Amino acid sequence: MLTLFPEMFPGSLGYSLAGKALSNGLWSLETVDLKTFGLGKHRTVDDTPTGGGPGMVMRPDILAAAIDDVHKGDPAQGQPLIYLSPRGERLTQQMAHDLKDAGGATLICGRFEGVDERVLEARAVKEVSVGDYVLSGGEPAALILMDAVIRLLAGVVGDAAALESESFESGLLEYPQYTKPQEWEGRAVPKVLLSGHHGEIQGWRKRKAEDITRARRPDLWDRYLARTEDE
């Protein structure tokens, strides 16, 4: 993790299932303070945008020095080098699975107006976005990406089967969930869930997942239909 604020990590990932998994050695995190590679007395890492404009831009020589130090001269190292950026490829569940299978990644957390384009090109950095909005820095986005990947690691989630029915795993949003009491404020748990008939329950859950996806995420629904037709 390359960041100007290493103290922001592991943050929320130090708690609950991810925190327990961290303590048990199921995943690990190394933070590198970009200011270590800064210039001069004040460890400067940024400069004004060439051509004018507001804000500051992270210098390519500073970021490249940090990347090369971490990768010890091997920019690929068999694992992705990712810069969290709103213009990047959208983070998806499939991407989370791919990163899990890669065995790790080096994440770059930007600040200011971003980083010099040349270092992204020279070090073959992949840009990833966690959504169509702008954050004050890459650190919150990095925590989101890490959380999505860590929970897929073996042993992190107690019941691995629970992962299979979650939103996006099948291309659909998740079906509605219920628990006790069976009636609450005049609202009853659907009778089919009390029937004990597993086939009917599974059918109901699939129909509900399809209905919710069709209504709330037409883009996902279209992709789901295309995939099922191909199969």
pLDDT digits (tens, 9 = 90+) for 167-218: 788 899 999 999 999 999 999 999 999 999 999 999 999 999 999 999 999 9
Question: Do both 125 and 204 map to the same domain?
Answer: no
Report the domain count for the chain: 2
Q: Choose the final residue of a domain: 150, 177, 203.
A: 150
Asked, for residue 181, whether it belongs to a domain, the answer is: yes
Question: Do both 82 and 17 map to the same domain?
Answer: yes
Asked, for residue 160, whether it belongs to a domain, the answer is: no
C-alpha dihedral (161, 164, 215, 90), degrees to nearest 10: 130
* DSSP codes joined into one string, 191-226: GGGGS--HHHHHHHHHHHHHHHHHHH-HHHHHHHHH
Mind listing the pLDDT tens digit for each residue in 119-166? 999 999 999 999 999 999 999 999 999 999 999 999 999 776 677 767
Angle at CA of residue 168, ends 164 and 171, nearest 5° = 100
Which CATH number does the domain housing residue 31 bear? 3.40.1280.10
The single residue listed with the structure tokens 């199921």 is 26
Q: Choose the final residue of a domain: 125, 150, 175.
A: 150
Asked, for residue 80, whether it belongs to a domain, the answer is: yes
Asked, for residue 159, whether it belongs to a domain, the answer is: no
Domain that holds residue 213: 165-230
Asked, for residue 93, whether it belongs to a domain, the answer is: yes
Beta-carbon count within 10 A of 195 CB: 12
